[in-house]
Amino acid sequence: MPTAPSIEQYLQELHDDYASRINEAVAEDRDDLAWQLADAYTNEALRAQADYGLTPTLDRLPGRRPTAATIPAAA
């Protein structure tokens, strides 16, 4: 029986799918569609985090650098 993907795996797959679709839209000179897809990706990624029981944050998305607020303080 397959298991559910981890949130990291799910977000990476979601990112890869949307990146491909956005690149296709840009190649077709459809910047309007690319922006719509980018917004849809962000919304879907944040919703997925909430569905996994996490506090939604953009810092968890693939390719994002952690902000000072998400980096643990040194002891």
Residue 33 lies in a domain: yes
Task: Report DSSP state, residue 61.
Answer: S
Mean of pLDDT over the chain: 87
- Looking at residue 1, what is its pLDDT? 47
Residue 68 lies in a domain: no
Q: Work out the burial of residue 44: count CB atoms within 10 Å of its CB; fewer than 13 is exposed, 13-18 middle, 19 or more buried.
A: middle
pLDDT for 65 beyond 90: no
Q: How far is CA 64 from the centre of its chain?
A: 9
Residue 14 lies in a domain: no
Residue 32 lies in a domain: yes
- Looking at residue 61, what is its pLDDT? 87
What is the mean predicted confidence (pLDDT) over 69-74? 55
What is the mean predicted confidence (pLDDT) over 4-23? 93
Residue 72 lies in a domain: no
Residue 49 is part of which domain span? 22-53
Residue 36 lies in a domain: yes
Handedness of CA 65, 69, 74, 75 (dihedral sign): negative
Question: How many domains, in total, are found in the chain?
Answer: 1
Quote the CA–CA distance of 29 and 41 in Å, as a whole number: 19
pLDDT for 68 beyond 80: no
- Is the pTM for the entire model greater than 0.85? no
Residue 61 lies in a domain: no
